Each structure stands twice: as C-alpha cells, then as structure tokens.
Structure 1
Amino acid sequence: MTPRAVAVKAGLERGWVELRSKLASPWELSGEVWPWIIAVGVMFALRDKKVPGTDFSIGLQAVPGIVGMSLIYTGLMGLALVLTTDRDDGTLLRMKAIPNGTIGYFISKVVSRAGITTAALLIILIPSALLFGDLRVNSVTAWLTLIGIILLGLLATLPIGAVIGAVFGSVQSLGLVMLPVMGLIAISGIFYPITAFPEWVQWIGQVFPVYWLGLGMRSALLPDSMAIAEIGGSWRHLQTIGVLGVWAVIGFAYAPVVLRRMARRGSGTTVKETETAAA
C-alpha cells in the first residue's frame, strides 16, 4: 500500500471515529438542526401562499431549499469552522509532521462532517414530511434521487468549506463569509423561484452549486408538476449532475493543495500568537 493510500485509509478511520463521537451527543447534533426546523415551521405557516402564476404553495416549494441550505451551512460552513479552529489550536500543524498527514486530515474531516450533515438532513426531513403531505417521501425514485443529490452536494460543497477554512485567518473572520453566502442563497431560488429574478441574476445564481443543490432537492421531493416554476419548466437533472460534479472535481483537486500551503505557513509561534490574541 502506497503512503498516500495509507493516509487515506487513516483519514477514513479517523473520520468514522469523529462521527460516532458527535452522534453520541444528541445535544451537539440538535444545535446543528434547530434553526432549520424553525424555518420549516415558518414555511408551514406560509403554506396557503401561492407561487405567482401557479397553484403551488410557496411554503411547500421552499422546504427542499431549506434542506439544501442546511447542507450548505452544516457541511460547508461547519467544515470551515472546524479547520479554522484546528489551525488556531495547532492540530493542523501537528498533522503536517506526519507523512501525507494533511491528506489524511482532510479526508477525516470530510467523512465526519458529511456524516453529521446527512444525519441533520434526515432530522429536518422527518417534521417536513409530517407537516407537508405533498412531499414525495413515499417514492423509491424520490429517495434515490435525494440520496444522489445529497452525495453530490456534499462532494461539491465540503471542499469549498475546506478552502474557506484555510484562507481565513481566524474563527472571527469567518463571519465575513456569511454575507456573500447569504447573498448567494438569496438569489438561488431557495425561498422564492429563481425565475422571478432578472435574467442576469439568474445567470449568476446558476454559476454556483447552491442553486443546483436546491433544484436537485426540489426535483426529488416535489411533485413533477411543480417543475413549471423552474427555468425552462424542467428539473434539468443532467445539468444538475454536471455542475455539481464539476465543483466536486475542482474542489477535491484544489482543497488539499490549499491545506498543504496553509500548513507550511503554520508554526508553533503563530499558534502561540493566536492563543495570546484570543486570550
């Protein structure tokens, strides 16, 4: 077995251990999902509001988007926070001393955060299925589509979280990322059909994975008749797979490089300076 393969295997094992530890603490997991459960409740209150030009409920149309948005925050931003914290306390610096340690570290964090995010999504889907009877939760095809979109979404977004965590210098500075992320969510059709926005805004939204993640979630959970509210009146499955796949390939090729460069810049002195500043 090559050194790189050994690092990947160690990363998978470490990620599984971290995931089991997190799932063993229900209180920690609940902190990941309660804002989105509240959001689902708000959408239930809007269930009688209709998407303009259709008979579809705005509340129902937004639920899959909320599920997708929780993946962005729990997965992408959660991983960014973990990496920034580990850099501040010297964990990533210690990984640098191990052959291919950065690769193993990256794999472990992707595995653990992907598992946590998937668990959070399932917790959100349960009350959603109870509140919105029109969600396609009784269809095998819908579940297969949903699982595929979740996997692709995790592969497309988690490396972005790793890059963000590597680029930003402190946990506090991560707050600056929230503004552009919120802006992307606003123009990505999560709470309102993207077709209601000007065409140039629609093009910007379609560049990033947030829109395609939401579209894929809607195609899995909503009746096919609701595709009329989407661009071209279609769920565009092939385009969804293509765009998310491209983001995944770019992310997994680029994120380990960024992490290695960040680790090379780290030292015991910088960790100490970070601890002193935090104190």
Structure 2
Amino acid sequence: MTTTALRAGWDRGVVELRQSFTNGADLWGHFFWPLLMVGVTVFLRDRTFAGFQLGALVLPSILGMNASMAMVSMSQQLTADREDGTLLRARATPNGLVVHLVGKIISVSGGLVVDLAIFLVPALLLVPGLAVDAASWPTLAWVLALGLAAALPIGAVLGSVFTSTRSQGLLTLPILGLIGISGVFYPVTALPEWVQGVAQVFPVYWMGLGTRSALLPDSAAVVEIGESWRHLETVGVLSAWTVLGLLVAPIVLKRMARRESGSTVAGRREKALQRVG
C-alpha cells in the first residue's frame, strides 16, 4: 500500500512539474528570479571583500538561499490546496494525503533544481573567482539534497499553519530578514557576533556555507566563522532540522486535515468572494 502511494505521488509530482513548464505564469517564475540573481552576481563581480571578489562569494550563497526558499514554495502550495479544497478531496481517498504530499515534494524539488540550473549555468560563465572542479559537484549535491530535506518539512508545517494564501505574506518578511543576516549577499563575519549566532540557528546560513565550500577555493574560508567550511557542523544542523521537520510535519498535517470539512472550505471561499466584491 505504501509503495503504491509513493508511486502515485511520484507520478502526480512529475505531472505537476511538467505542467509548470507549459504555464506562462510558472515559466515567468522559473526564469525571472534566477536571471535576476545572475544580474546581481554580475553587478558584484568587480567588488571585493577581504581580497576576494564579492560576486564569487555571493554566487554559491544564492544557490543555498534558493534551496532554502523551497520551504516557502511548499508552504504556499499547501496553503493554496487547503484553501481551494484540494486537500479535503485528497483526504477522502485512500492514502490521499500521502500521495498529495509526495507529489508536492517531487514538483517543488524538481522545479527548484531547474531554477538552480537556470541560475548556475550562465553565472559560472560570467562570474570569475570560482574554483569548480570534479570534487565540487558531489559536495554541491549533498548540501542541496540535505538542505531540501531540511526545508521541505518546515514548509509543510508552515503550509498547515496558514489558512489562506493572503496570509502567506506574513511569512515573507521574516524569511527575507533571515536571508539578510545569513551571509547570502555579504559575508556573515561582517555582522555583529550576536547576529552571527542567530543566523547559525537556522538552515539558510548552513546551506549557503555548504554551497560556498563546494564552489569557492579553500582560501576563501578565511572570511567564514572560524575560518573553516565546517562540514560536520553543516551536516549536524541540517540533519537536526530534517529530523525535527519529519517528526512535527506529519502530526501537524494530520491535525490540520482533521479540521478540514466542506463547510470550512465553503466559508473560506465565501470570504474570498466578499473581498473581491
């Protein structure tokens, strides 16, 4: 039964991912932000920090940031499905919630990988100062895989907390603030020590650190905390967030699903129509 549900979830996710490349709005999202970030790295490539080109320091950090944004995508999509009754219909079928969640994981992860490729390929050609070799890709792969494993359950929890897509705006500002203190656009060592401590609690900083370790020369570690890439700490923190998310997400999702009914979906739809009117 579980194997059947996983296979059905995989098929659902692949279909959703394929559809995202035939929809104009989704295509805009796939290309606009990655290419905008390419522009940011090109703009910064001639600036320096501690003797290193800032564009090269920023490029891998943006990869880690985008991976962490999978939690936002997951949250938004689950909230939208909850609002329009898709989750309620999924609950009415055998293993429907499992199939639905697996499908979302596949579609969000697949879309993210495509977005990262759209950003990384031109950026590697336009931004000097990187150190890409055969060892870079395995490191990049495990950092992104572990980062996604940490981010997606968090996104599922957040998606069960918000009751409407309008309320998702409450999530944007804290995430942007977290990105701002996580060393994405400027080395975190330039920030006050207490800010560095806060940043190290959350996965965004560690994803950025891991991707920098994959694509930058070893000498660039001098601008990091402890002048080290800290791979063991990266694995530890991201794994801790993964375990926490996997423990909490099923409980929260099941509780949220039990509260869903036809009347609650109809009530949300009526409120939405009143706002439009």
Offset of residue 27 of structure 1: 6.0
Match of 1:172 among 153, 156, 166: 166
Contact 1:23 1:116 in 2 (8 A): no
Runs (4+) of structure 1 moved beyond 6 Å? none
Q: What are the within-5 Å matches in structure 2 for residues 105-144 of structure 1?
A: 105-137=100-132, 139-144=133-138
2:84 aligns with 89
Deviations 1:95-118 (A, max 9, x none): 111233222211111111101101
Match of 2:240 among 242, 246, 250: 246
TM-score between the two structures when normalised by the length of structure 2: 0.93
Aligned length: 273
Offset of residue 197 of structure 1: 1.5
Q: What is the percent sequence identity of the aligned residues?
A: 49
Match of 1:207 among 197, 201, 215: 201
TM-score between the two structures when normalised by the length of structure 1: 0.92
1:277 aligns with 271
Residue identity opposite 1:114 in structure 2: S
Query: In 1, distance between residues paired with 2:92 and 2:151?
Result: 28
Query: In 2, distance between residues paired with 1:33 and 1:238?
Result: 34
Unaligned runs of 5+ in 1: none
Offset of residue 34 of structure 1: 1.5
Unaligned runs of 5+ in 2: none
Q: What are the within-5 Å matches in structure 2 for residues 17-166 of structure 1?
A: 17-25=15-23, 28-51=26-49, 54-73=50-69, 75-137=70-132, 139-166=133-160
Offset of residue 24 of structure 1: 4.5
Query: In 2, distance between residues paired with 1:246 and 1:23?
Result: 34
Contact 2:34 2:118 in 1 (8 A): no
Query: In 1, distance between residues paired with 2:121 and 2:241?
Result: 29
Secondary structure of the structure 2 residue equivalent to 1:207: coil
Contact 1:40 1:66 in 2 (8 A): no
Deviations 1:181-205 (A, max 9, x none): 1111111111111111122211111
Residue identity opposite 1:71 in structure 2: A
Contact 2:41 2:123 in 1 (8 A): no
Contact 1:103 1:256 in 2 (8 A): no
1:183 aligns with 177
